[in-house]
Amino acid sequence: MKIGIIGTGYVGLPSGVGFAELGHDVVCIDAIKQKIDDLNSGKITLYEDGLEELFNKNRLAGKIKFTTSMKEGVEGADVVIIAVGTPPHPVTKEADMKYIHAAAKELAQYITGYTVVADKSTVPVGTGDDVEKIIREVNPNADFDVVSLPEFLREGFAVHDFFNPDRIIVGANTERARKVIEDLYKPFGDKANMVYVNRKSSETIKYASNAFLAMKIHYINEMANFCEKAGADVYEVAKGMGLDTRIGPKFLNPGPGYGGSCFPKDTNAMAVMARKYGVEMSLIETTIRQNDARKFDMAEKILKATNGKNIAVLGLAFKGGTDDCRQSPAMEIVNALLEKGAQIKAYDPKAMTVAKTLVGDKIEYANDAYDAVQGADAVAILTEWTCFKDLDLSKLKANMKSPVMVDLRNTFSKEQAESAGFKFTGIGR
Ligand code: NAD
């Protein structure tokens, strides 16, 4: 099949590479020329575990192409996937639909033959109807269907998740469109676990899932606060809870609060949608408010642990395995620390370049973790990079002015840190 993908970001690029690997002919389209030039010259534009190898393999085999031309990507395509951003509106916090609407208008002009327009971006319920209307207005003779095909990949595991989806939700209102999407995923065989629902249900499933996961994180963070006061250990509590199959062990890791490009934006968008329909969603509203406040509480926690203001920060990405810093709790804690007058030297294995575009020279950037802690009054671990687990704690301590560690990611146990001579503050115990 020929597939056009509009938007070559954290969703579009891994999906494009994945579909090419499945044997489809993929054209990835992006409005940013520099991005397309880089990709065409073999330079990958984002970090995802295992992506670069598959990207090069399929690019060199001619199975995936990159262009700024909508015409090239859409003409003759069986499926056109929309994977552009739906960022939060700065004031209303609802999903900003300008990229979706612009993409729909543009792609409409180049539809030739029956085409399924599949929306992978996370969009408010009813967007499928809007996209359909826009395409119809621009190109009244176009033969097309619009389906909702929400994306559930986890950043940092995008390649793994593409090839091992829990489920593929397809919101299709016609049998014809459904059949095309079935063919798209045919190479998966039985592994695909396709779930066909109506388009609005599909759009809702994405928000309902993300809001639920965000609430689960918030729940265990509140339990962590409780455990700290009550003398329990939140990790033991989470383990005991997670063994109940009705609860499950995932998303029960306490930390500095959820972040990234999806949960904050999607919980806010869900709350706005519910308010519009006059439906009370108090759990989601509370989760948003408390999660926002948690970043400031975490900055306080770090400053309370030390008498000094020279803080070494380990981790800037919103989670391990990615260079994405969008609404990263680590970045928000860094900003809160700066506001309190702290001086920061930071290290992240992958996200330094991206972080520089966000905080510039307000902080210092280290070459590695040992460099970051040189002369520091405290070290704060803010992202769960697995490589931090391998740090030599004695060497780390030797470089510091005072051996204070605040570990917001359960990288080390209290015993490990204390036996290396650190004064240790963790979460939830
Ligand atoms: P992104 O910002 O990384 O990528 C979007 C890309 O679209 C950009 O490169 C931008 O230049 C391009 N673009 C915008 N308008 C365009 C147009 N008219 N023509 C061509 N290109 C255009 O965004 P992302 O993180 O990949 O997210 C995309 C969507 O997928 C969002 O709705 C997001 O909520 C959803 N989503 C993201 C993730 C994730 O892990 N990042 C997971 C699931 C769903």
117-129 pLDDT, tens digit each: 999 999 999 999 9
- Mean pLDDT, range 21-36, rounded to an integer: 98
CA-nearest residue, atom 6 of ligand 1: 7
Determine the residue of 11, 68, 167 to mutate for testing ligand 1's pocket, defined as the one with the most ligand atoms within 8 A of the Cβ atom.
11
Q: Which atom of ligand 1 is nearest to the CA of 150?
A: 44
- Mean pLDDT, range 125-142, rounded to an integer: 98
Q: Is the CB of 118 under 6 A from ligand 1?
A: no
Task: Supply the DSSP symbol for 87.
Answer: P
CA-nearest residue, atom 15 of ligand 1: 99
CA of 394 to the centre of ligand 1 (A): 43
Task: Supply the DSSP symbol for 80.
Answer: E
| Residue 236 pLDDT | 97
CA-nearest residue, atom 32 of ligand 1: 121
Distance (Å, whole) CA 93 – CA 351: 26
Q: Is the CB of 99 under 6 A from ligand 1?
A: yes
Q: Is the CB of 97 under 6 A from ligand 1?
A: no
Q: Is the CB of 145 under 6 A from ligand 1?
A: no
First to last CA, the chain: 54
pLDDT in tens, 238-277: 999 999 999 999 999 999 999 998 999 999 999 999 999 9
Confidence of residue 182 (pLDDT cuts 50, 70, 90): very high
CA-nearest residue, atom 12 of ligand 1: 7
Determine the residue of 68, 89, 100, 151 to mutate for testing ligand 1's pocket, defined as the one with the most ligand atoms within 8 A of the Cβ atom.
151
How many degrees, rounded to 5, is the angle at CA 379 between CA 377 and CA 380? 135
Do 119 and 82 meet the contact criterion of CB atoms below 8 Å apart?
yes
Task: Indicate whether 394 pLDDT > 90.
Answer: yes
Neighbours of 190 (CB within 10 A): 6
- φ/ψ of residue 178, rounded to 5: -60, -40
Contact partners, residue 281, CB within 8 Å, separation at least 6: 211, 270, 271, 274
Amino acid making up residue 389? K
CA of 260 to the centre of ligand 1 (A): 13
């109506």: which residue's tokens?
A: 198
Confidence of residue 191 (pLDDT cuts 50, 70, 90): confident
Q: Is the CB of 12 under 6 A from ligand 1?
A: yes
Q: Is the CB of 83 under 6 A from ligand 1?
A: yes
Q: Which atom of ligand 1 is nearest to the CA of 106?
A: 18
| Residue 202 pLDDT | 98
**Of residues 162, 228, 195, 209, the one with CA closest to residue 425:** 228
Q: Is the CB of 10 under 6 A from ligand 1?
A: yes
Strands (E) across 241-309 are located at none
Count the alpha carbons within 13 Å of 100 in the hemisphere toward its beta carbon. Answer: 25
Distance (Å, whole) CA 395 – CA 370: 7
**262 annotated active-site:** yes
Task: Indicate whether 384 pLDDT > 90.
Answer: yes
Determine the residue of 46, 261, 263 to mutate for testing ligand 1's pocket, defined as the one with the most ligand atoms within 8 A of the Cβ atom.
261
| Residue 190 pLDDT | 81
CA of 63 to the centre of ligand 1 (A): 21
CA of 276 to the centre of ligand 1 (A): 25
Catalytic residue, from 28, 227, 262, 325: name it.
262
| Residue 361 pLDDT | 96
CA-nearest residue, atom 43 of ligand 1: 151
Task: Supply the DSSP symbol for 81.
Answer: E
Sheet holding 310-314, edge to edge: 364-365, 343-347, 310-314, 378-381, 404-407, 423-425
pLDDT in tens, 289-339: 999 999 999 999 999 999 999 999 999 999 998 899 999 999 999 999 999
Q: Is the CB of 354 under 6 A from ligand 1?
A: no
CA of 2 to the centre of ligand 1 (A): 20
Say what the pTM is.
Answer: 0.93
Strands (E) across 173-289 are located at 194-197
Do 257 and 222 meet the contact criterion of CB atoms below 8 Å apart?
no
Q: Is the CB of 27 under 6 A from ligand 1?
A: no
Q: Is the CB of 157 under 6 A from ligand 1?
A: no
Do 199 and 148 meet the contact criterion of CB atoms below 8 Å apart?
yes
Q: Is the CB of 100 under 6 A from ligand 1?
A: no
Average model confidence (pLDDT) across the chain: 97
Determine the residue of 47, 51, 84 to mutate for testing ligand 1's pocket, defined as the one with the most ligand atoms within 8 A of the Cβ atom.
84
Count the alpha carbons within 13 Å of 35 in the hemisphere toward its beta carbon. Answer: 17
